[in-house]
Amino acid sequence: MSADDAARPPAWAVEDVHLADPDPAWPGWADAFAAEARALLGASLTEPVLHIGSTAVPGLLAKPIVDLQARAEDPDSAIAAAQAAMAAASWFVVPRELDLRAWRRFVVRADPTGRHRLAHLHLMKPDEPRWDQQLAFRDRLRASPALADEYARLEVAAAARHPHEREAYTAEKSAFVRRVLTSG
């Protein structure tokens, strides 16, 4: 491996935004990835690992990446204790200086080739308000097909405008998310 290869981010970190039709396998994937996360983080987790995000909304198109959230009293310590085992199982911790979201530690489950994300784990402290917000957003989309359809249209438009910029794609959806959270 050359110095250039070592400095280059992993392929999963820079993959394009890709949306997929709803897949009835997503809940099973979520269960499997949640079991992996529980096995790796063990007693550090204070609550069950929950399936969130678009793949947790039946019938909604999504990036085919399962989002999970979990709580730990000290997410940094939990990750430090498990990081080697996590990496061996293709779970990679995104450094704080790259994630820039103080409310979580972000972990990506990559496929065996290292080219694609399969799952995200949002690891939070027990008192983090974002926990309830992410569940509320998921639940409101589950409860309202019209809201889910509106979100799907927004996702398609954002992916078309930002196919190579995951952060811009996510940012474009933030006003909608805020509106949903404040309207319910």
pLDDT for the residue 65: 97
- Distance between CA atoms of residues 133 and 125, nearest Å: 14
Which residue's structure tokens are 């399969």? Answer: 118
Q: How do the pLDDT tens digits run along the chain, 184 residues long?
A: 454 555 678 888 888 999 999 999 999 999 999 999 999 999 999 999 999 999 999 999 999 999 999 999 999 999 999 999 999 999 999 987 788 788 899 999 999 999 999 999 999 999 999 999 999 999 999 999 999 999 999 999 999 999 999 889 988 999 999 999 998 6
CA proximity to 81, closest of 44, 106, 117, 129: 44
- Distance between CA atoms of residues 37 and 49, nearest Å: 8
- Distance between CA atoms of residues 150 and 135, nearest Å: 18
Please report which helix (H) or strand (E) contains residue 81, including its range. helix 75-88
Q: Residue ranges of the domains in the chain?
A: 3-183
CA proximity to 143, closest of 60, 28, 70, 29: 60
Indicate the SS3 state at residue 38: helix
Strand order in the sheet with 66-71: 50-52, 66-71, 117-124, 105-110, 91-94
pLDDT for the residue 166: 87
pLDDT for the residue 10: 85
Q: Are strands 117-124 and 105-110 parallel, antiparallel or unpaired?
A: antiparallel
Q: What is the pTM of this model?
A: 0.91
Q: Into which CATH architecture does domain 3-183 fall?
A: 2-Layer Sandwich (3.30)
Amino acid at 100: L
pLDDT for the residue 1: 46
- Distance between CA atoms of residues 106 and 29, nearest Å: 18
